[in-house]
Structure 1
Amino acid sequence: MNKQRGILAIISGFSGAGKGTLVKEIFSTYAENYSLSISATTRQPREGEVDGVQYFFMDKPVFEQKIQENQFLEYAQYVDNYYGTPKDFVFDKLDQGISVILEIEMQGALKVKEQYPETVLIFVTPPTAEELEARLRGRGTETDEVIASRLARAAEEVVYMDKYDYVVLNEDGKVAECAAKVHHIIETEKKRTMYSGQLINELTEGLARYKKGE
Structure 2
Amino acid sequence: MFGDRADAGRRLAAHLREYRGAKAVVLGLPRGGVPVAAEVARALELPLDVIVVRKLGVPAHPELAMGALGEGGVEVVDWDLVRRARVGPEELGRVEERERAVVAARVAELRGGRPPLDLVGRVAIVVDDGIATGSTAAAACGVARALGAARVVVATPVAPPGLTAAGLDADELVCVETPWDFQAVGASYDDFTPTTEHEVVELLTAART
- Output the TM-score relative to the length of structure 2: 0.32
- Output the TM-score relative to the length of structure 1: 0.31
